[in-house]
Amino acid sequence: MNVPLPGTVSTVPVLTRSETAWRTVAGPTPSSAISARTEGNLSPAVPLLTNPSRWVLTRAGALSLDMSSESSATAPPQEAFGLVLGSIGVLIFSFTLPATRVAVPVFGGWTVGIGRAVGAGLLAAAVLAVKRTPIPDLATFRRLAVVAGGVVVGFPLFTALALVSVPASRGAIVVGMLPAATALVATLRHGERPSRSFWLAATGGLITVVVFAIVTGTRGRPEPADALLLLAVASAAIGYAEGGSVSRSIGGWQTISWALVLALPITLPVAIIAMVSHGIIEADAASVAGFAYVTIFSMLVGFFAWYAGLSKGGVARVSQIQLTQPILTLLWASLLLNEEITPTAMLAAVLVLVFVLMTRRAPVTTSKPADPAIAGGQ
């Protein structure tokens, strides 16, 4: 045997028969172990990370550290990308109320509210067929039914019926209340836990929008149509929160597409009955364009960006971008419907943007939810 003298260290490795030298990404690799004599008191087959004088990093360790660094580096960009997508969705949605207001007198509230879902549902079915999108499982379909009830049927129908008797400026109260309502649903249902500063900023934005909508309303007091607007808020909040959660597992455009298709057995016959009973009163280019917009963009394209943004940036945080939608809606109403922009509107716009920036900086945590897909996007 080659035995080293006292006080010396041998640099000659000794082969072993059954030891595993290193564990790599591919699994254990039978090889030689380095003798304890080469590193003093180290036992055979132990990686040399514990030796202060020599640092050896396995490929598995390097990969783990690299993935960890990449994950921490990409988390903020992913959230920022979610905010960008959410902003695109809000911009598209901000035209919805003026377009609906133009279409409702000609086609009727039921036809516009439900008919837009039929047109978007047929387009969504075509997209799913062309893309050969896999059919979701039964559990996902149950959640998609919640999405369909909220944003495919509830919100469009209630807002269309309300806008028969109130102007688009008053209907802006709907989207003003949506961010806080959506954050509340996300808190109760999906495990998101906004901080106190987040809630204070969201409440401030909500109060600003509500006061603004009341002050600029035609009557400045509660009306029967306000009950429909509140039902629209509740419907959309549930649909937004559930859809944002589902989109984390199947994707944003797939979520709204399957929800639209799932609702077709209900929306198609209702839309036909509504159109036959109401008829079409002196349709012009503006009313047709408004109906087409809420069908293609408000009901389909906007949700592609919106649900993708909610899944990447978090439901509670991204939903607060929608606080800017009432101000944008009034801008479009002024340009398209000749409504006046008052100094009150400008003041409200500044306040709302301030509160949105405050919610952006406020921390939002996610507790461990029952559905692992919910935690996937945080």
**DSSP secondary structure, 199-220, as one string:** HHHHHHHHHHHHHHHHHTSSSS
Residue 222: the pLDDT is: 63
- Cα distances from 111 to residues 82, 103, 273, 280, 337, in angstroms, run 33, 10, 9, 10, 21
Task: For residue 26, give the DSSP letter.
Answer: T
Pairing of strands 192-194, 364-366: antiparallel
Q: Are 4 and 37 in contact (CB under 8 A)?
A: yes
What CA–CA distance (Å, rounded) separates 40 from 47?
13
Q: Which amino acid is at 163?
A: L
pTM for the structure as a whole: 0.69
Q: Is 172 left (phi over 0), alpha (psi -120 to 50) or beta?
A: alpha
In this prediction, residue 137 carries a pLDDT of 95
**Residue whose C-alpha is closest to residue 372's, from 73, 43, 139:** 139
Mean pLDDT in consecutive groups of 10 residues from the start of the chain, 378 residues: 52 45 43 41 44 43 39 61 92 94 92 95 96 95 96 94 83 75 78 79 82 69 79 92 88 94 96 89 89 95 90 80 84 84 78 78 61 34
Structure-token pair, residue 83: 């905010």
Indicate the pairing of strand 20-24 with strand 27-30. Answer: antiparallel
What are the structure tokens assigned to 145, written together?
């039914």
Half-sphere exposure of 184 (CA within 13 A, CB side): 15
Residue 73 CA: distances (Å) to CA of 68, 69, 103, 243, 345: 9, 6, 47, 27, 40
